[in-house]
Amino acid sequence: MSTAPLFLLDELPDDGYAVLDGPEGRHAATVKRLRAGEAVLLSDGRGGLAHAVVEAAARDAVDLTITRRADVPAPAPRVLLAQALVKGDRGELAVELATEAGVDGILAWRAARCVARWDDGPRGEKALARWRSTVREATKQARRPWLPPVEAPVSTAALAERVGVVAGALVLHEGADDRLGDVVADLPGAGDLLLVVGPEGGITDAELDALVAAGARPVRLGPEVLRASTAAAVALGALGALTARWR
C-alpha cells in the first residue's frame, strides 16, 4: 500500500471539511486520479499536517474530510544548505536530492568557480524560480510537512557573514583533515547548522579561508570525491543518521 500523497496549501482549513482546488486540485483529480475513500495529506509547509479522506472528485477539484491534525516540529538542528550554482539540470538535481534528504533551507551561492551565472534580472529570477519549484515538488514527493525556503543568491562575503551568526557551519572539502563522522560530537544540538557545498571546479583557497575565518569547519565525507549535485544529499543522510534529526 502506497503512502498517501501530500498536497501543499497556503493555510490549512479551520474545520473538518476542505476543498482542494486550483493547481493542487487539478493535480489531485486529473494526475493522481483520486477517488472517494482514498487518503491524502495536506500541509501548510510550516509543520502543519492534516490527514484527510476524499469524499468526491470533480474534474479540477477534490472534496475532503479531515480526520486528524498534527503539528510536526522542525528537526534539530536545522540544516541549511549553501549550494554553489551548478550548470544546467544538475543544480535542480542538487536541490531536489537535498530536499528529499531533509534539508531545512537553501541558499544559492555565487562561488568564484561557478560556471553558471545567475545575473540580476529576468534570467536570474527564472533560474531561482526553477529551484523553488523543484524544491516544492520534492517536498511533496517526500511527504514533508516543512517546505524549505530557497533564498536568492549570495556572494562569498555574504555567506561568510551567515557563517558568523549560525550555531555551526561545515564546509565540504575533499582536502579536509576531519571526516564528517569525526566532528559529530562538536555539532550543535539546536539552532541552524550551515552546510556549504562548492561548485564542480571546487572552492578556492581564498573562499575557504574566508569561511573558516568566520567560524566554519572543513570536513570530508569519505575517500570518494562526490559531484556538487550529490554531495549535499549524502551529507544530509549522514547527519540524519549520526545526529538526532531522524529520531
The answer regarding whether domain 78-242 maps to CATH 3.40.1280.10 reads: yes
Reply yes or no on domain 6-71 having CATH 3.30.465.10: no
Query: What are 197's three cell numbers?
Result: 557545498
Distance between CA atoms of residues 215 and 174, nearest Å:
18
Give residue limits of the domains in the chain: 6-71, 78-242
**pTM higher than 0.75, yes or no?**
yes
Per-residue model confidence (pLDDT) at position 105: 98
Encoded amino acid at 147, one letter:
L
Q: Do domains 6-71 and 78-242 have the same CATH topology?
A: no
Please report the pLDDT score of residue 34 as a whole number: 85
User: Over the stretch 102-119, which tens digit does the pLDDT of each residue have?
Assistant: 999 999 999 999 988 887
Radius of gyration of the chain (CA): 20
The phi-psi region of residue 99 (left if phi > 0; otherwise alpha if psi is between -120 and 50; otherwise beta) is alpha
- Crossing angle for the helix pair 122-141 and 89-100, to the nearest 10 degrees: 30
Q: In what order do the strands lie in the sheet with 105-109?
A: 150-154, 105-109, 78-84, 192-197, 168-172, 217-219
Which residues sit opposite 69 in a β-bridge? Answer: 50
Average pLDDT per 10 consecutive residues for the chain, totaling 247 residues: 86 87 86 89 96 90 92 95 93 97 97 87 90 97 97 97 98 94 92 96 97 97 90 96 89
The three-point CA angle 234-235-239 to 5° equals 120
Question: Nearest Cα to 150, choosing from 161, 166, 138, 135?
Answer: 135
Answer left, alpha or beta for residue 223, where phi above 0 means left and psi between -120 and 50 means alpha: alpha
What residues does 64 pair with on adjacent strands?
18, 54
CA–CA separation, 61 vs 177, rounded Å?
55
